[in-house]
Chain A
Amino acid sequence: MNRHVSWTPAETTADSGDVIRLADVRRRFGETAALDGVSLGVRRGEILGIIGRSGAGKSTLIRCLNGLERPDGGSIEIEGREITGLGEAALQPLRRRIGMIFQHFNLLSAKTVEENVALPLKIEGWPKAKRLARAAELLELVGLSDKARAYPSALSGGQKQRVGIARALAASPALLLSDEATSALDPETTRSILALLKDINSKLGLTILLITHEMEVVRNIADRVAVIDAGRIVEQGPVWQVFATPKAETTKSLLSGIRPQLPAHIAQTLLSEGPGDVVLSIDIAGPAATGPLFQDLSKAFPGGYRLIHGGVDHIQKQPVGRFFIALPAASTAGLVSFVERLGAQVEVLGHVADHA
């Protein structure tokens, strides 16, 4: 990949400040509140993932950030500037500071790849030769130099999104908004697009805000995650922490496909009381998870325990472990206090029906 892409770093008033700051943003559509008091900050240089189910308000939120949607109330500051009161004409130069990529790419079919990439510069009034040179630079960055003269219809989905990314970066924005950018792509293409976004983030220091309904996307590239449900941010924090100890029900349910779960045939037969072994889950993450957990457990409970399911994942280079174990009821209290001393979270899930 080309490393010579010129970049004008975002000129800002307060460099340490957030690129975006939302305070109590509200938006209703008829009776339903799409955004019900959202407060959120996006820090310079980070990748923030906003995750939620469809209809949770993600799209409305991202569209408020570049003024495509007007909130009913609250405040939105972009690079320290309040945008909620601005008219269409005042928003236009501001939008050039914000690149956006879309689920369905939204490339213009009547323009070639290089004309698509150069369009934001045409809008800014760059002369033709200069903007085509810049487009060539960006196409090299996304690895599509050979497709400059092709029309979008000749490209695959992944290539189209690369063009979308090049176009979004053309005017050297301070912020990149990604609206479900990988949702229409297959898993392999998704990974390559996410890798490209991560690369752009670290090489160019570009702040990225992405919305998605896929935890996998957040897990792969985000630094922080905010979970949105029914128009409210229900949880936010560093990705590894949210993955290790999700608090909101929405977060837990969104994570269920990606974290270890108690196998269904065991979960179904669990009793709330009984003589059988106790099944519990252990969540341990970060520095606490680097110790010899199982060795310690074996020493402390020579009576034995059974590992049912689980494993250690690494998110943002932090170990995130989740295990399901079964052990005799008599040992339970001791084990709970033992692992809690290690900084883990324990949840008693029930008793197995018999000694199966």
Chain B
Amino acid sequence: MSPIMLELLVRSLWETLVMTAASGLISLVFGLPIGLALVATARGGIAENLAVNRALGAVINGFRSVPFIILLVALIPVTRVIVGTSIGTWAAIVPLAIAATPYYARIAEVSLREVERGLIEAVRAMGGNRWTIIREVLIPEAMPGIVAGFTVTLVTLIGASAMAGAIGAGGLGDLAIRYGYQRFETAVMIAVVAVLIVLVCGIQWLGDRLVARLDHRN
């Protein structure tokens, strides 16, 4: 592989990392509270409100049912308002984050819902309020699932970021399509796939290690 190709590969890797990390972080910051809201407002939750629960669920399902490539294009005006441009790596972060947030909210919801009701009841019996329950019970007890779910979300984002090439965001997926596929440069294709495999394995390994350290349930 030529030095130019190598430089291209490194730059693409960086773009993928930026897109994945930034949109992943945004999905964590917004998705976790949304997941909490879903669990809290559900039947028997600590702030039961079925109307809010259904409305929130419907919005999430709406976003989740739009194919990402459509969302990418449909969100161009929104991206332009937020980032100032509708093309490039930073512009891709907006649709990626908007797609990943409801996805992560659902994953977080599942983990939070699995926290034993008895634990919530024990803290209520101690005189704890809702914030105590969220801070001392729901988040810490669901932490292994929250981290494992975040790992899944990051890996999914690496895959989704390949499509961001459609709005000129670059990244490894884009490199593989333009050089490896369209120009028949098999070496580039293999190199990109190898880098992606290492990246995905690395993230998964880190996530699993962190979960093992956090999980004291058994």
Interface set of A (CB-CB < 8 Å, partner B): 66, 68, 88-89, 91-96, 98, 100, 102, 104, 106-111, 119-120, 122-124, 151-153, 167, 171, 177
Q: List 21 A-B contacts (CB under 8 A).
A: A66-B125, A92-B128, A95-B125, A95-B126, A96-B127, A100-B122, A100-B126, A106-B116, A107-B122, A108-B119, A108-B140, A109-B217, A110-B141, A111-B136, A111-B140, A119-B123, A119-B126, A123-B126, A153-B216, A153-B218, A171-B127
Q: At the interface, is chain A mostly helix, strand, loop or mixed?
A: mixed
Complex partner residue of B127 from A102, A123, A152, A167, CB under 8 angstroms: A123
Total contacting residues, chain B, CB less than 8 A: 22
Q: How far is the CB of B117 from chain A (nearest CB, A)?
A: 9
* Contacting pair A106 B118 (CB below 8 A): yes
B132 within 8 A of partner (CB): yes
Q: How far is the CB of B70 from chain A (nearest CB, A)?
A: 40
What chain B residues lie within 8 Å of A93 (beta carbons)? Answer: 127
Q: How far is the CB of A196 from chain B (nearest CB, A)?
A: 19
Complex partner residue of B128 from A98, A106, A123, A151, CB under 8 angstroms: A123
* Contacting pair B140 A120 (CB below 8 A): no
Interface set of B (CB-CB < 8 Å, partner A): 116, 118-119, 121-129, 132, 136-137, 140-141, 143, 214, 216-218
Q: How far is the CB of B146 from chain A (nearest CB, A)?
A: 11
What chain B residues lie within 8 Å of A89 (beta carbons)? Answer: 129
What chain A residues lie within 8 Å of B214 (beta carbons)? Answer: 110
For B137, the closest partner residue in chain A by CB is: A108
* Contacting pair A92 B217 (CB below 8 A): no
Complex partner residue of A94 from B127, B128, B141, B143, CB under 8 angstroms: B127
What chain B residues lie within 8 Å of A66 (beta carbons)? Answer: 125
What chain B residues lie within 8 Å of A102 (beta carbons)? Answer: 118, 121-122
For B121, the closest partner residue in chain A by CB is: A68
- The distance in angstroms between the C-alpha atoms of A111 and B122, with both chains bound, is 14
Q: How far is the CB of A10 from chain B (nearest CB, A)?
A: 16
- The distance in angstroms between the C-alpha atoms of A152 and B137, with both chains bound, is 14
Given A102-B118, A104-B118, A123-B132 in contact, is the A109-B124 Cβ separation under 8 Å? no
What chain B residues lie within 8 Å of A94 (beta carbons)? Answer: 127
What chain B residues lie within 8 Å of A171 (beta carbons)? Answer: 126-127
- The distance in angstroms between the C-alpha atoms of A216 and B132, with both chains bound, is 37
- The distance in angstroms between the C-alpha atoms of A100 and B218, with both chains bound, is 24
* Contacting pair B216 A92 (CB below 8 A): no
* Contacting pair B127 A108 (CB below 8 A): no
4 interchain residue pairs of minimum CB distance: A106-B122, A110-B140, A95-B127, A96-B127
- The distance in angstroms between the C-alpha atoms of A98 and B218, with both chains bound, is 30
* Contacting pair A68 B136 (CB below 8 A): no
For A121, the closest partner residue in chain B by CB is: B126
- The distance in angstroms between the C-alpha atoms of A240 and B58, with both chains bound, is 61
- The distance in angstroms between the C-alpha atoms of A270 and B197, with both chains bound, is 82
What chain A residues lie within 8 Å of B216 (beta carbons)? Answer: 109-110, 151-153
Q: A95-B125, A95-B127 are in contact. List 17 more A-B contacts (CB 8 A).
A: A68-B121, A68-B124, A88-B129, A92-B127, A92-B128, A95-B126, A100-B125, A102-B122, A106-B119, A108-B119, A108-B141, A110-B140, A110-B141, A111-B140, A119-B136, A123-B127, A123-B128
